Amino acid sequence: MITHFVKMHFILNLLTQFRINLFAYDWRTLAMEPKKRISEVVENGFSVINSYFNPTLIKRLGKEFDTLIAKHSRNEKSSNGVIRSVKLEALKSDNFQATFDVMNDTNLISILTGFYKRIYDLDIDKEPFDKVDLEYNAVPGKSVNSDYHFDRIPSVKCQIYLNDVGQNNGALSVIPKSQSSSRRIAMEMLESNSNPLFLKNFLKKNIAPTQLLTGVAGTLTIFDTMVLHKGGEITDGFRKTIRLVKWPPCLDKKYYLFQNTSKSIKFYSENFYHPKSNEDKTRVNPRFIYQNN
């Protein structure tokens, strides 16, 4: 007993002497291993962090998610569920604190800045995410995303499952390391039409290997949207997903430059993720304009 006490005393003394405060240490950052995550996103196109968000936060996020979806489900219903995009200011003014906090998560933001720096030598501001997409999928027999594709407007997305998601309720799948081929091919297409909204971005014939990203509630997937990806089919149950989006500050040719590309991959075009495409296909948000330089 006495020896235990002496040992404890000795350790506490050491900690005070060297000013090591265990409570002040950011254990979440340690568990996140930002450098490793950046390397995974650069090399594989994605990184999965199981249970990054704790159950208490997921519960709060779930409540806000339900409110936001219910509030807007009437006008934004699509055949496979409900998608709602929300900007940061709206979350703040309406007091959606948990969703707001997640958009300001400093670990995630430092991974994004690290990614843009490492891959494009771009210094992006340490700002919160540009927007959050909330997606509720609950229609059996419907795919949450029909085929493998890259996004026409490239970004890095941080996707959080709010419920346990497996093969039967729409888990995301990816084709690891496909991001360099997609970039090369997109770059070639942009030579003939520089408007990214006309890119053929859906894969005609599936290529292997694919990887299914199942996960329990709170699991985070960070992905470069130039990696080929798709949501799965809902055969049973539902899926609640939050996707935080960070666009590159400016879209230029540099964004598509990559080595080691197979030219045999063919793409087709489909109307997914075109901002404003329903109103006017030729209209592009100036933020996304591809610069021909």
Q: Kindly list the residues in this chain that would bind Fe ion in the complex (CB under 5 A).
A: 151
Residue 151 or 224: the one with the smaller Cβ distance to Fe ion is 151
Among 37, 183, 240, 243, binds ligand AKG (CB under 6 A): 243
Which of ligand AKG, Fe ion, none interacts with 215 (beta carbon under 5 to 8 A by kind)? Answer: none
* Subset of 88-127 contacting ligand AKG (CB under 6 A): none
CB of 56 to ligand AKG, least distance (A): 25
**Candidate ranges 16-24, 50-58, 103-111, 223-231; the one touching ligand AKG (CB under 6 A):** 223-231
Nearby residues of 165 by Cβ (< 8 Å), 6 or more positions away: 171, 214, 215, 219, 239, 241
CA distance 41 to 108: 12
Cis preceding linkage at 209, omega within 30: yes
Burial environment of residue 95 by CB neighbours within 10 A (0 to 12, 13 to 18, 19 or more): exposed
**Closest approach of Cβ 159 to Fe ion, in Å?**
10
Which of ligand AKG, Fe ion, none does residue 108 bind (CB under 5 to 8 Å by kind)?
none
Q: Which residues pair with 223 in a beta bridge?
A: 46, 157
Nearest alpha carbon to residue 248 among 158, 120, 136: 120
Please report whether residue 151 would count as binding ligand AKG according to CB under 6 A.
yes
* Least separation in angstroms between CB 221 and ligand AKG: 9
Among 225, 233, 251, 288, binds ligand AKG (CB under 6 A): 225
Under the rule (CB under 6 A), what is the footprint of ligand AKG? 144-145, 151, 157, 172, 225, 229, 231, 243
